[in-house]
Amino acid sequence: MEEKNSSNSLLIGVILLLLVAAGVYFLFLKDSPENEEEGKDTVTLQLKWIEQAQFMGFLVARELGYYEDEGIDIEILPGGVGINPIDVLIAGDADVAVAWTGNVLPAISQGEELVNIGQGLQRSAMRLMALKESGIENPEDIEGKKIGTWPGGNELEPYAFIEMQGLDKDRDVTLVSQNFDMNQLLNGEIDLASAMIYNEYWLPIEQGYNEDDFTVFDMEEEGAGMLQDALFVKKDFLDNNEDLLVRFLRASIKGWEYAIANPEEAVDLMKLDFTANDVTAKDHQIRMAQETAKLYQSDDGASKGLFYINEEKLQQTVDIATEYIEEVKNIDISKIYTLSIWEKAIQ
């Protein structure tokens, strides 16, 4: 009987030793580098458009591991025709969306609680561009002209500009749905074309035209500028993930700082197919990177820092949207943005 008890004690001792060893092993395994990925937070970022230099800071931050350094596994979703980043955000398929504020306000007016946590472009990139041979030299010359605009909320700045000249957009000019290029302008189908200063503006110049061949109206300088490329999140996501969003914005700022300082390298890091079309051509993307950098660094971007949100510019955006979008009304701007994430991210 005594020998049997000794055997049982020995067996119990071996089992306890194995359990302790297993505990140590799994503790080590949990903290080992091979399993760090399991402990990362995931963030899905929806872009407003396809991957291009307009979004270079986010793409560079991903490629250089800045999100990973903040414990974030980032997924970046490209936009495109038919993809509204705010719809993707509301559906829960993205955590953060890069969107123009004017496109977001209708959803907010309909009850969606969406908040801007960081303002990318500090000035409007929107231009209206006419060939000088059309006779358009001053804003008042646009009366009776055909003006190309992009739908889906992208037409608001041209609308405001038209009416600032004392003209009725539905009576005194002809509005034409514009393609995402400048061919209608160059072919004489429209008199003025919408153009982003980092993209479409340069397409004719790259085809052999001179900048002096065009009359250009800058929507920001004309008082019709609206905020573009802001970072929007759902309020409940903000309330429950403040630290995660601080880390996300900090990594994004670091990516943008690097991209702005190294635009050509940034374009290479994005790994685009430069042969796809004129817009993806490497020289065009480098120019896009340089022009986008100017917009991020202008105004408050230079004096306060990247992604600062200017309340006066936000109010101007809301005022223009309220006037030209029937669904936009009763917007309290104090509820649609916060500086708290930005303030913590730059500390």
Reading the chain (347 residues) residue by residue, the pLDDT tens digits are 444 444 445 444 434 444 444 443 444 443 443 334 568 999 999 999 999 999 999 999 999 999 999 999 999 999 998 899 999 999 999 999 999 999 999 999 999 999 999 999 999 999 999 999 999 999 999 999 999 999 888 999 999 999 999 999 999 999 999 998 999 999 999 999 999 999 999 999 999 999 999 999 999 999 999 999 999 999 999 999 999 999 999 999 999 999 999 999 999 999 998 887 888 899 999 999 999 999 999 999 999 999 999 999 999 999 999 999 889 999 999 999 999 999 999 99
Q: How far apart are CA 324 and CA 157, in angstroms?
A: 10
List 319's β-bridge partners, or say none.
none
Which secondary structure element, helix H or strand E, spans residue 313, and what is its range? Answer: helix 311-324
**Do residues 57 and 260 make contact, with C-beta atoms less than 8 angstroms apart?**
yes
pTM: 0.87
- The helix or strand, by DSSP H or E, that contains position 247, with its residue range, turns out to be helix 242-261
Cα 294 to Cα 263: distance, rounded to the nearest angstrom: 11
Does 43-123+237-345 match 126-218 in CATH topology?
Answer: yes
**Superfamily of domain 126-218, CATH level 4:** Periplasmic binding protein-like II (3.40.190.10)
Q: Which helix (H) or strand (E) holds 20?
A: helix 2-31
Instruction: Give me the residue spans of the domains in the chain.
Output: 2-31, 43-123+237-345, 126-218
Q: Which residues are paired to 267 by β-bridges?
A: none
In contact, 224 and 157? CB cutoff 8 Å: yes
What 3-state DSSP class applies to 257?
Answer: helix
Crossing angle of helices 242-261 and 282-297, rounded to 10°: 120
At the fourth CATH level, the homologous superfamily of domain 43-123+237-345 is Periplasmic binding protein-like II (3.40.190.10)
